[in-house]
Amino acid sequence: MKKTIATTFISFCLAMAGTASFASESDGTDVFDWQPPEFVANTAAGKPFHYPGDLQGPTIVLFWATWCPFCKALMPHLQSIIDEYNYEVRVLALNIREDKDPVKFLEEYGYQFLLIPEAEEVAESWGVKGTPGLYLADKSGRAVFSLRAIPESAYPPERFADNEELKRYQKAARGAPFWAAHLRKALDRLDGQNEDGAH
């Protein structure tokens, strides 16, 4: 029997960390809880970034490459989240398997992401096999959302990824808003938890 992407990812996380948990709410929203490995890596500016020590608040962690159409389609949505949350949410862009200039790419499109180039070792330690790898981490560094953990029940009956008539960039254009919507739900949940904790 063929495993789904979500099932494979769940199995991997449980084997790696032993602390990951997954659930699905009544509306099909994914609930994800995993403590990723710590790491230290240099930013594009040459400064060391410590995960999770240098997190300042909710952080979107994106494993990406300039050649990845799914990453390209997703990035405008991530920038809009930064704008919407008035820069209280940061995007940590870990560039992997790159053959071009990621700095130039981000500058060209005006994305305000914190870039970590040559992040293959981090990707391996996090179990990221392909792009995009997308997570949402809280201030402590705990991952509360993963693209790979969106439940099958949340997808439309005819999944864009399975449509052989669509080209890759067309699948990316269909998938990016869908993924971003689930990321926003996770952000709203996290924001609600923070508000409850403040009282």
66 pLDDT above the threshold of 70: yes
Average pLDDT over residues 166-193: 92
Q: Where are the domains of the chain?
A: 5-153+160-198
**E strands present in 7-155:** 21-24, 30-33, 39-42, 48-51, 59-64, 90-95, 114-116, 133-137, 143-146
pLDDT digits (tens, 9 = 90+) for 94-104: 999 999 999 99
Q: What pLDDT, on a 0 to 100 scale, did the predictor assign at position 30? A: 56
Q: Are residues 116 and 93 in contact, defined by beta-carbon separation less than 8 angstroms?
A: yes
Residue whose pair of structure tokens reads 């990621």 in the numeric block: 102
The fold of the 5-153+160-198 domain, in CATH, is Glutaredoxin (3.40.30)
Coil, helix or strand at residue 12: helix
**64 and 71 Cβ atoms separated by less than 8 Å:** yes
pLDDT at 123 over 50: yes
Q: CA nearest 113: which of 12, 57, 44? A: 44
Contact in structure between 11 and 18 (CB atoms under 8 Å):
no
Residues in the chain: 199
Q: Which residue has the higher pLDDT, 7 or 54?
A: 54
pTM, full prediction:
0.84
Q: Could you give the CA distance from residue 62 to residue 76 in angstroms, rounded to a whole number? A: 13
d(CA 90, CA 61): 9
DSSP class of residue 38? Answer: P
Task: Look at 7-16, 32-41, 178-187 and tell me which has the smallest mean pLDDT.
Answer: 7-16
State how beta strands 133-137 and 59-64 pair.
antiparallel
